[in-house]
Amino acid sequence: MPKRIVVSKLGGPEVLKYENYVMPNELPRTMVRIRQTSIGLNYIDTYHRTGIYPVPLQLPFCLGLEAAGNVIEVGSEVNNIKVGDRVAYSFSPPLGAYCEIRDFDADKVIKLPEHISNDEAASILLQGMTVEYLFERLYKLKKNEKFLFHAAAGGVGLIACQWANSLNAKMIGTVSSNEKSELAKKNGCEYTINYKNEDVVKKLSIITKKNLVNVVYDGVGKDTFDISLKCLNFRGLMVSFGQSSGMVENVNLHGTFNPKSLYYTRPTLMHYIRNRKELEISSNKLFNKIKNKEIQPNIFKAFNLSQASDAHKLIQSRKSTGSIILKP
């Protein structure tokens, strides 16, 4: 009998339960059945676990947005995938990736190229496609453009360092230690600011010769919101794509954005891979970056699926650098 992780009630990592479950006898016509070998852990999983992001599922529910594995059965109407194919999926509802075997819509899975392993795909697909839409479609970074990216040594941050370097853009990344600064620079970050002992706004002003930046990518939220706004030039764009430190509250829209005519967006990957064409565009750009050695997957640690609560504790500690995966 296969195993999975469910959220028994909203709360801390301790609410994650490891349990048996039963697969349906009949596979829907448009789906494939995947024996999962690698499951991606993403910070958004903690939002779903705690209820910060409400999910339209009754408790208990299976967690997770991303995984890779091998196809063991295909529905009668599936023509583009066959048994034995290695596939991956990311950020396509419904939740439920934290499991050993899963049925999934064939139109929302991606076949993996030979140069990417299942573990690598599970560790990078969501984070890599996030960077793709942030840098290539939401706002097109220019050659030699300086910009600010918070948490440069995290899972998304290290991919951002490499992607920016491949575009010859000059990333200014915030970090919390000298070790993380070295890691970010090793991955292509042009400048780093240690927010523990440096004033981010002052240091960025020096780096940009008081020109500030036209775009800030902020996945931290409450702790960095005001800092991000101060780093933006007139008509600058604030891209708030996450809130690992908590949600920003009580924003006075006029007082916050009007003084410099700032733009603000709160995007999500789901809205940038809304159809098969967009999914293929995003994943193929990422796969080509990996093939050309412009992006290197970085698996920080692998946990057994049964240890999901320990993995959640680690990602919330902010002590990880790179990606975390779960192994069924």
Given this model, what pLDDT does residue 247 score?
Answer: 76
Question: Which domains occur in the chain, in start order?
Answer: 3-116+297-327 (3.90.180.10), 126-269 (3.40.50.720)
93 is written with which tokens? 């509802």
Beta strand pairing call for 61-62 and 110-111: unpaired
Mean pLDDT for the stretch of residues 75-99: 94
Q: Where are the alpha helices (DSSP H) in 208-262?
A: 225-231, 253-257
CA distance 74 to 29: 8
3-class SS of residue 33:
strand
State the DSSP H helix or E strand holding residue 313, giving kind and residue range, or none if neither.
helix 308-317
Question: Do the Cβ atoms of 189 and 173 come closer than 8 Å?
Answer: yes
Mean pLDDT for the stretch of residues 84-92: 94
CA distance 193 to 200: 6
**CA angle in degrees (0–180, nearest 5) for 1-3-68:** 115
Instruction: List, for residues 94-127, the tens digit of each pLDDT value.
Output: 899 999 999 999 999 999 999 999 999 999 999 9
Question: Do the Cβ atoms of 38 and 121 come closer than 8 Å?
Answer: yes
| Phi-psi category of residue 250: left, alpha or beta, with phi > 0 → left and psi -120 to 50 → alpha | left
Write the CB contacts of 127 (distance below 8 Å, at least 6 apart in sequence): 40, 42, 155, 156, 159, 323
Q: Phi and psi (nearest 5°) for 202?
A: -65, -45
Instruction: List, for residues 139-185, the tens digit of each pLDDT value.
Output: 999 999 999 999 999 889 999 999 999 999 999 999 999 999 999 99
Question: Do the Cβ atoms of 85 and 109 come closer than 8 Å?
Answer: no
Burial bucket for residue 242 (CB in 10 Å: 0-12, 13-18, 19+): buried
Q: Is the pLDDT of residue 290 over 90?
A: yes
CA distance 209 to 96: 48
CA distance 149 to 32: 38
Question: Do the Cβ atoms of 328 and 305 come closer than 8 Å?
Answer: yes
Given this model, what pLDDT does residue 180 score?
Answer: 94
CB-hemisphere CA count at 13 Å for 257? 13
Question: Do the Cβ atoms of 243 and 221 come closer than 8 Å?
Answer: yes
Encoded amino acid at 103, one letter: D
> How high does pLDDT run on average in the chain?
95
**CA angle in degrees (0–180, nearest 5) for 153-157-160:** 135
Mean pLDDT for the stretch of residues 74-98: 94
Number of residues written out for the chain: 328
Residue scoring higher pLDDT (4 or 52):
4
Given this model, what pLDDT does residue 124 score?
Answer: 96
Instruction: List, for residues 184-240, the tens digit of each pLDDT value.
Output: 999 999 999 999 999 999 999 999 999 999 999 999 978 899 999 999 999 999 999
Beta strand pairing call for 170-175 and 146-149: parallel
Instruction: List, for residues 242-259, the tens digit of each pLDDT value.
Output: 877 777 888 888 889 999
Residue scoring higher pLDDT (49 or 319):
49
Mean pLDDT for the stretch of residues 29-42: 97
Q: Is the pLDDT of residue 50 over 90?
A: yes
* CA-CA-CA-CA torsion sign (119, 121, 126, 127): positive
CA distance 267 to 221: 13
Identify which of 327, 322, 325 has the alpha carbon closest to the alpha carbon of residue 161: 322
Encoded amino acid at 32, one letter: V
Q: Is the pLDDT of residue 314 over 90?
A: yes
Burial bucket for residue 47 (CB in 10 Å: 0-12, 13-18, 19+): middle
| pTM for the structure as a whole | 0.91
Given this model, what pLDDT does residue 222 score?
Answer: 83
Given this model, what pLDDT does residue 320 score?
Answer: 82
